[in-house]
Amino acid sequence: MSAPNIETIVSLAKRRGFVFPASDIYGGLGSSWDYGSLGVELANNIKQSWWRWLVHERDDIEGLDSSIIQNRLVWKYSGHETTFSDPLVDCRNCKGRFRLDKLQDVNCPKHQSIHPGEDKECDLTEAREFNLMFKTTVGAISSDEDETALAYLRPETAQGIFVNFANVLNTSRRKLPFGIAQIGKAFRNEVTPGNFIFRTREFEQMELEYFCSAEDAPRVMQEFIDEFQKWFNSLGISAENLKLYEQSKEELAHYAERTVDVLYRFFPERDDEEKQFDELMGIANRTDFDLKTHSKKPEDAEGKRINSDSTEDLSYFDEATKQRFYPYVIEPSVGVNRTLLAVLMDAYTEKTNEKGETRVILKLKPELAPIKVAVLPLAKNKPEIVAMAKDLKKQLLPAMRTVYDDTGGIGKLYARQDEIGTPFCVTVDHESLEDEAVTVRDRDTWAQERIKVTELKEYLQKRLSAL
């Protein structure tokens, strides 16, 4: 089982402290969200899994953390200033503003049952291009119109990688093929954000730019398509909720030769199965566009430099073939927030207890669970039990994230830990003081086992790694 719809997760996320609406006490700010104590842990665990897999476990990828605000010229030569826009239309009747290419995804504000443009009353304007980059100014400026101070919040982390290509290559002494990985915030002034954390104006990306020869690019791309599906599976996302989508020639970005999106079933409630899926990540063959466009040497057909501002040539010299060329780039780009949403949706299950009550269990993989073990005292008014429970928490903590919780009766505490995905609860009771043993309760089966305190850490570590 997984969540029946996103709304179920919105409610759980708010109730249990994963995600809250941002600026809520001032009426919110359209489609902005804050991550609470459990949400930030879950997001960090997803990012750590990605980073460990790509940067630590593989031997061919370097990490990077580049600035959010770069020189404006980065966005001029990347093409974002001229092409990073959506076609906008207004309705003269309902005063709504929509993305022309996404009319089917929204409802008319006046007539909720139809999409904009479907009623004879709809009076849509001609489409005009709306650039999605957030503008800002850098330094003490004389006026907001001062063009020399204009800068942008990055709409993708990728460009920070391309402009650092030579820095990383030279300092790491890498040879092709190799990659540069980066995790960070990106900003887009989306026309129609929505669906909780699925499309927001501020979000986080995990991007890998993998540099290789043109000949190797198709094979490398296919390997990443396969590997990323396996990685999503390792996060607990089931294969039946994932699907690949090959972008058509018309859909491809101007720099891409091929793009395959990995889709997730974010909208299981929709009747049409095709429409249940939407983009979780994209994997693109960006050709040699990026390194060429940021280099000072390449020329156009008329012999004019395509970049008259760059001071660097980002070509690569292959010692083996004695050839100089601009490497191709394969780019797997994943959204942290969409991954977190998919993980929550897939982990969501319901179970009926012996009283016939429905309980929510979040079957998160232990690697992702914000809390691995909760230590609970059966009687919080008994100082010896409380002391033993607190001591156990301290003992377990260096090996696994453990919390102590005495904020309710044992039934309530179990239910809360199930709902936030804690794989094991450890209960200290009156008998524990005598027999130096505790009860370990399994989140998924609710089965309980008595374990000696001296064996507890090893026992939990084994069970956690087996889940």
Least distance in Å: CB of 32 to ligand GAP? 11
CA–CA gap between residue 261 and residue 225 (Å, rounded): 9
CA–CA gap between residue 284 and residue 287 (Å, rounded): 9
Long-range contacts of 301-310 (CB under 8 A, 24+ apart): 307/77, 309/73, 309/76, 309/77, 310/73, 310/77
Q: Is 338 in the site for ligand GAP (CB under 6 A)?
A: yes
Q: Name beta bridge partners: 202.
A: 187
Q: Name which of 330 and 376 has its Cβ closer to ligand GAP.
A: 330
Phi, psi of 204 (to 5 degrees): -125, 140
CA–CA gap between residue 11 and residue 5 (Å, rounded): 11
Among 156, 290, 346, 429, binds ligand GAP (CB under 6 A): 156
Q: Is 86 in the site for ligand GAP (CB under 6 A)?
A: no
Nearest-CB residue to ligand GAP? 335
Stretch that binds ligand GAP, among 37-45, 176-184, 290-298, 333-341 (CB under 6 A): 333-341
| Cα separation values, 134 from 102, 288, 295, Å | 21, 27, 25
DSSP H/E element including 415:
helix 410-419
CA–CA gap between residue 370 and residue 18 (Å, rounded): 10
Least distance in Å: CB of 182 to ligand GAP? 10
Centre a 10 Å sphere on the Cβ of residue 303 and count the other Cβ atoms it contains: 6
Least distance in Å: CB of 327 to ligand GAP? 17
Long-range contacts of 305-309 (CB under 8 A, 24+ apart): 307/77, 309/73, 309/76, 309/77
Binding mask 157-176 for ligand GAP (x = CB under 6 A): -x------------------
Q: Is 348 in the site for ligand GAP (CB under 6 A)?
A: no
Question: Taking the CA atoms of the chain, what radius of gyration do you get in angstroms?
Answer: 26
- By three-state DSSP, how is residue 321 classified? coil
Stretch that binds ligand GAP, among 140-148, 201-209, 369-377, 387-395 (CB under 6 A): 201-209
Kindly state the number of chain residues that form the binding site for ligand GAP, as judged by CB under 6 A: 19
Stretch that binds ligand GAP, among 122-130, 278-286, 294-302, 438-446 (CB under 6 A): 278-286
Least distance in Å: CB of 190 to ligand GAP? 5
Q: Is 335 in the site for ligand GAP (CB under 6 A)?
A: yes
Stretch that binds ligand GAP, among 17-25, 196-204, 230-238, 445-453 (CB under 6 A): 196-204
What amino acid is encoded at 356 in this protein? G
Among 119, 227, 257, 279, binds ligand GAP (CB under 6 A): 279
Q: Give buried/exposed letters for 138-148 (b at 16+ CB in 10 A, else e).
A: eeeeeeeeeee
Write the DSSP symbol of residue 81.
Answer: H
**Neighbouring residues of 169: CB distance < 8 A, sequence distance ≥ 6:** 316
Q: Name which of 66 and 432 has its Cβ closer to ligand GAP.
A: 66
Q: Name which of 30 and 408 has its Cβ closer to ligand GAP.
A: 30
Binding mask 228-267 for ligand GAP (x = CB under 6 A): ----------------------------------------
Q: Is 154 in the site for ligand GAP (CB under 6 A)?
A: no
Restricting to residues 174-193, name those near ligand GAP by CB under 6 A: 188, 190
Least distance in Å: CB of 159 to ligand GAP? 8
Residues that bind ligand GAP (CB under 6 A): 156, 158, 188, 190, 199-200, 203, 205, 207, 279-282, 331, 333-335, 337-338
